[in-house]
Amino acid sequence: MTTSRDDLVAHLAEQARCIRRHVVRIAGMSDCHTGGSLSIADLLAALYFHVLRIDPANPAWGGRDYFILSKGHCVPALASALAMRGFFPEEELTRHLELDSLVPGHACARVTPGIDVSTGSLGHGLSVGVGAALGVRMDGAANRVFVLVGDGELQEGSNWEAAMAAAHHRLDGLTAIVDRNMYQTGPTEQMMALEPLAEKWAAFGWSARAIDGHDMRQIVEALEALPFEAGKPSAIVARTVKGQGVSLSRHHHMDRFSPEQMQTALSELGVE
Amino acid sequence: MPVPQRKGKRPVAKSFGELLLELAREDPRICGVSCDCWGFLGPLHGEFPERAIEVGIAEQNLIGVAAGLAVRGKTPFALGMNPFVTMRCFEQIRTDLGYGCRNVKVIGAYGGGVMYGGWGCTHHAMEEIGLMRLIPTMTVVMPADGFECEQAVRAAAAAEGPFYIALAGGELPLGVPEAERAFALGRAAVLREGEDVAIIGTGPAVQEALRAGELLAERGVSARVLSMHTVKPLDREAVLAAARTRLVLTIEEHTVIGGLGGAVAEVLAEAGAGTPLRRLGLQDVFACMVGSYEDLKRRFGMAAEAVVDAAMGAA
């Protein structure tokens, strides 16, 4: 017997699989930041199909929750989630990088409906999230702010300026989600170690939890428990695998699939 | 370390703070973010504590936070010290404000140009104009005194889009009486009429431009003096009118590369004006010396005497 919770988790896992299929198809047509897009697919599915209060028919709705993809190069996954939610037609995803497409190479608020903040240069998103959360508080409103950051990106010092400010200003409407996929252009811990990472957030005054970023049940439980503590911003360190779900992309930053590779990858994602 | 400020009726921080409060009363979107410039937000904080935010000594976060406030529909004034708020967070200004077309007013609150004099080159904002004017969508205003400063801040609050304003205070010596002055964004202010040469100044250097106008008059040279408070968008018409004299001089507390002199040179060259141009300012050097602000301006050719020498040499 399945519970409604099991149904929800299965539904969200299917949405994540759909995001991954879109990412693979994009990589079959053009260069694509596959690895980091695939590692955030489960997180995006939970956010866009269960957690975020948004209105695809009115992307500028004042009551919306704000989502900032600080690792802006992973826009193929975000654009897929937005198209699946109805912000624009899914066919547009087949036009990644093409002339005047809605699917750019880095997240662009001017180009893609549903994207509030343009990103691509790492280490910008969290500060913008702090500002949005402060603005919401000025209005006495309840919109929440979510910032998805890469782990390698946390080597940028600006993140820690933002982390300090968020805790100082007691922004419990702000959540940072770390896509802890352990790879940048090489293995993150070898290039510039971040551990102990959850402890770093805690030391900066955040309420931090580590979860398995591919376990939909854990993702949903964490997102539903926000804020973890009143008066503190929340950090979710999501352990992920760069390229999750597609063996060909494992630990890859970018891919451009041949038709055969794309078919192999899609088969792995349940497409015959 | 004392904060150098030019003489005036009131300190810049106090008058700016009161003006911001007045604007905030009229427009609920207006708020203030401070990077260790809390004194400027005192009045705002007193009446609207939730609309005055300190981020500490963290310029990158200052600009990102201001951008986020603008995402939420606010009109933040983001304050930092001129050299640091234009350089440390240049990419945040360029990407989060410029590319993002955010309605954020970046305020160089103190330490404009070489006002810190002999306190050291770390504190000279000799790139502020050049850096800010590189950014698409950015309006760049360098007021000469308290009058232009107040007008610029009011204009920025009323306009959409990102601004950079270097605060100024005090009153201009030898200037047109305040009651007779006008201010319009993008329109140079003529502070002295003249036909022989034209001196275009911006920011604190306008004081020296006016003094040079007076010194030249004593030598029988009639000089038009302009305050080019808005460096971007530049008043092309005023520059081309200046080119109808026999020599155009620009003066700025800034490197001559990319600043006011550079901007004027671009207009003159593209118009094929052919009028000689002399750019007074830092000649691709760091103004490294120990001494006062006045000493430094004299040694590095940013005082009225240097303008006079340039005008007479070419005359």
Q: Is the dihedral of CA A46, A52, A55, A59 positive or negative?
A: negative
Beta carbons of B31 and A117 less than 8 Å apart = no
Share of chain A above pLDDT 70, in %: 100
CA distance A132 to chain B (A): 4
**A117 vs B contacts (CB less than 8 Å):** 67-68, 71, 100
Q: Distance between terminal CA atoms of chain B? A: 43
pLDDT band at A234 (very low <50, low <70, confident <90, very high): very high
Q: Which long-range contacts (CB under 8 A, 24 or more apart) does B49-58 make?
A: B50/A137, B50/A138, B51/A138, B51/B24, B53/A134, B53/A169, B55/A161, B55/A165, B56/A161, B56/A164, B56/A165, B56/A168, B58/A161, B58/A164, B58/A165
Contact call for residues A135 and B74 (beta carbons, < 8 A): yes
pLDDT band at B171 (very low <50, low <70, confident <90, very high): confident
Q: What is the rounded average pLDDT of the residues B97-117?
A: 95
pLDDT band at B173 (very low <50, low <70, confident <90, very high): confident
Does the CB of B98 have a partner CB in chain A at under 8 Å? Answer: no
**In the β-sheet with B189-192, what is the strand arrangement from edge to edge?**
B189-192, B223-227, B197-201, B247-255, B277-282
Contact call for residues B311 and B216 (beta carbons, < 8 A): yes
Q: Are strands B30-34 and B223-227 parallel, antiparallel or unpaired?
A: unpaired
Per DSSP, chain B holds a count of helices (H) and strands (E) of 12, 12
Average pLDDT over chain B reads 94
Residue-level pLDDT at B315: 43
CA distance A138 to chain B (A): 6
The 10 Å Cβ neighbour count of residue A225 is: 12
Helix B59-71, helix A158-168: angle, nearest 10:
60
pLDDT band at A251 (very low <50, low <70, confident <90, very high): very high
Domains (range + CATH), chain A: 4-268 (3.40.50.970)
Contact call for residues A175 and A209 (beta carbons, < 8 A): no
Element (H, E) at B13: helix B12-26
Residue-level pLDDT at B314: 54
Tens digits of residue pLDDT in B1-34: 444 555 444 568 779 999 999 999 999 999 999 9
Element (H, E) at B77: strand B75-81
**CA-CA distance, B23 to B123, in Å (whole number)?**
30
Residue-level pLDDT at A92: 97
Q: What is the rounded average pLDDT of the residues A172-191?
A: 97
Whether the complex's predicted ipTM is more than 0.90 is answered with yes
Beta carbons of A130 and B61 less than 8 Å apart = yes
Which of A133, A138, A162 faces B50 most closely, judged by CB atoms?
Answer: A138
Domains (range + CATH), chain B: 12-166 (3.40.50.970), 185-314 (3.40.50.920)
Residue-level pLDDT at A3: 85
Beta carbons of B71 and A66 less than 8 Å apart = yes
Extract the tokens encoding B28. 């609920």
Beta carbons of A135 and B100 less than 8 Å apart = no
Instruction: Give yes or no for residue B224 having a pLDDT over 70.
Output: yes
Extract the tokens encoding A237. 């360190």
Tens digits of residue pLDDT in B129-145: 999 999 999 999 999 99
Residue-level pLDDT at B180: 84
pLDDT band at A1 (very low <50, low <70, confident <90, very high): low
Whole-model pTM? Answer: 0.96
Share of chain A above pLDDT 90, in %: 98
Q: What residues pair up with A180 in beta bridges, in sequence order?
A: A239
Longest CA span, chain B:
58
Extract the tokens encoding A82. 């937005």
Lowest mean pLDDT among A74-83, A241-250, B3-12, B284-293: B3-12
Helices (H), B101-252: 128-133, 146-158, 205-218, 236-242
Helix B146-158, helix B12-26: angle, nearest 10:
30
**CA-CA distance, B224 to B200, in Å (whole number)?**
8
Instruction: Give yes or no for residue B291 having a pLDDT over 90.
Output: yes
